[in-house]
Structure 1
Amino acid sequence: MRIENLSYCTELQNEVSLLSKIRHQNIIKLLGYCIHGESRFLVYEFMESDSLETQLHGPTRGSSLTWYIRLRIAIDVARALEYLHENSNPPVVHRDLKSSNILLDSDFNAKLSDFGLAVASGVQHKNMKMSGTLGYVAPEYISHGKLTDKSDVYAFGVVLLELLTGRKPMENISSDQYQSLVSWAMPQLTDRSKLPSILDPVIQNTMDLKHLYQVAAVAVLCVQAEPSYRPLITDVLHSLIPLVPLELGGSLRVTEPISSENFQ
């Protein structure tokens, strides 16, 4: 089990209400909840490998996450978002997609968690407080409070950049200045000569460059400042699935068996 403490009762109510209706292999299962005095707890299924944030930015610095595993994690998250955006009734915007809300089991299968801020898509929510995590929040939401499924696509693009580069969504470049991963990566993502050099060292020289260029192109589209230029998450999913071997849930056929040695 994984226990999460929620400070706001409205977030707990929202999450319990949503997760009690959702059944999807890439969305966390809610086992129960507890309200005791000022404490409010959610009990999730146990995810042995913690979160993507811990794996990428914790002590191991992504050493267990090979190229194919990273792509499969991206596909798992895209499948969860596709369910929320296309198959949920009403459609749902997660609103706080980030690496700490992507939980991993012992085989690094990913499940999306933390639905406390999720809202129905296309519905006007009066007095809705602007929320999210710096570095993942889409620019139109910051500037105009506009929230759509394309806001989740932007955040997904940031997560994809984390998987590619191993960098955090916001980096401290001086005592009082921060730089977003998007602004740092964008000029290099579109330059094929520079792209391999910005990869996380763990995965450098471990993939077909043609596949790397395709994933980078998807990331660039997802983090476009103009939401209408971003793809639907379904299109993202269909772009990534052919790059992952059948054995890992994709459709790529490889000539050698997929093993831990092939991932290195």
Structure 2
Amino acid sequence: MTSNFQRALGEGGFGIVYHGYLNGSEEVAVKVELLLRVHHTNLVSLVGYCDERGHLALIYEYMSNVDLKHHLSGKHDVSILKWSTRLRIAIDAALGLEYLHIGCRPSMVHRDVKSTNILLDDQFTAKIADFGLSRSFQLGDESHISTVVAGTPGYLDPETGRLAEMSDVYSFGIVLLEMMTNQRVIDQNREKRHITEWVALVLNRGDITKIMDPNLYGDYNSNSVWKALELAMSCANPSSEKRPSMSQVISVLKECLTSENLMRNKNHDMESDSSLELTKSFDTEVVPRAR
């Protein structure tokens, strides 16, 4: 239709528009959607589409473990996600967003990052979904203004109106706080309604255990948790200039996971040593030695 995308007419928020011919004669403008050029292991893949008798459908890969919110809500018969698993999920989601921000050309802003848009496969690999609000922008172009406020209340960047990757960073920070605390993002019955305000209030009291999801029963490395909490609050900073990039987010989250894994390996080694000591003691005191 477009003779291999020979003539570009322009570029809008949802992709490049090409000149083409319908049925070889009728001139048309063909918009190539962003979905067709987005490919990453941490983004839900578009398998195909259906256009049959006026019924339109997009077909995506199946994610058997539903979404992150499903596993945090406590309303379903699902196992509690360990802190190390939550960190891996956070890293996966961050990698997907990093790809949108610096791996795509032109770059993309998701604009609706939230826990229900982070889907999980059978191995609990996380993938970002729902690009319905996504928009492209020129990297480093701070002049791009979006006149329509898009996103979900609670996750929305307080610096609304500017279309930039830092808006996704803010939303990701809210998701990270949600993963850590298992608190609602907005709760009218809480002392502080918004999760950032509530966390800041509890932080002033200096007790990390009051912030973390009680379902974890303290099974986490405190250094890992503090670092992740500082990162989340940095992402959710009201000033976009003070927020880290997604690449910086990934780096810190990997450090958190490494710290957590080191603690678990150390504990495992200690348990093994303890078990070995018991065995030695048993052999010495009860079982006759070979002579």
Contact 2:109 2:164 in 1 (8 A): yes
Sequence identity (%): 35
d(CA) in 2 for partners of 1:112, 1:68: 19
* Alpha-carbon distance between aligned partners in 1 of 2:50 and 2:80, rounded to the nearest angstrom: 34
Amino acid at match of 2:84: Y
Residue 164 (structure 2) pairs with residue 148 (structure 1): yes
- Residue matched to 1:102: 118
**8 A Cα contact 2:14 2:135, kept in partner:** no
Mark the runs of 5 or more structure 1 residues left unpaired by the alignment. 1-10, 259-264
In 1, are the aligned partners of 2:144 and 2:162 still within 8 Å (CA)? no
Q: Find the counterpart in structure 1 of residue 135 from structure 2.
A: 119
The answer on whether the counterparts of 1:135 and 1:169 sit within 8 Å (CA) in structure 2 is: yes
What does residue 149 of structure 2 align with?
Answer: 130
Q: Could you say which residue in structure 1 is the equivalent of 2:63?
A: 47
With over 3 angstroms needed to count, the CA separation of the structure-2 counterparts of 1:49 and 1:19, relative to structure 1, is same
| TM alignment of 1:15-94, pairs within 5 A | 17-35=33-51, 40-57=56-73, 59-60=75-76, 63-94=79-110
Match of 1:202 among 211, 215, 223: 215
Q: Summarize deviations over 1:124-167 as a string: whole Å, max 9, x none.
A: 667742211000001011xxx12211100000000001100111
Distance 1:166 1:234 in 2: 25
Which of 252, 255, 262 aligns to 2:265? It is 255
Verify the 8 A CA contact 1:67 1:207 in the aligned structure 2: yes
Match of 1:240 among 250, 253, 263: 253
Shift of 1:34: 3.0
Q: Offset of 1:189 from its aligned partner?
A: 3.7
Q: What corresponds to 2:10 in structure 1? A: none
Cα deviation, 1:238-262, whole Å, max 9, x if unaligned, reads: 001122259xxx986963699xxxx
Q: Distance in 2 between matches of 1:39 and 1:235?
A: 43
Distance in 1 separating the partners of 2:201 and 2:55: 46
Aligned partners of 2:146 and 2:166: how far apart in 1? 21
Structure 1 match to 2:176: 160
Report deviation, 1:64: 2.9
Distance 1:79 1:253, change over 3 A: farther
Which letter does structure 2 place at the counterpart of 1:165? T
For residues 101-131 of structure 1, what are the alpha-carbon distances to aligned partners after superposition, in whole Å with 9 as ceiling and x for unaligned?
Answer: 1100112110001111111133866774221
Aligned-pair RMSD on alpha carbons? Answer: 3.2
Closer/same/farther in 2, CA of residues 127 and 85 from structure 1, 3 Å limit: closer
The alignment of Structure 1 onto Structure 2 pairs a total of residues equal to 239
Which residue, 206, 217, 232 being the options, matches 2:230? 217
User: Is contact 2:224-2:257 (8 Å) kept?
Assistant: no
Return closer, same or farther for 1:92/1:12 CA change in 2, 3 Å cut-off. Answer: closer
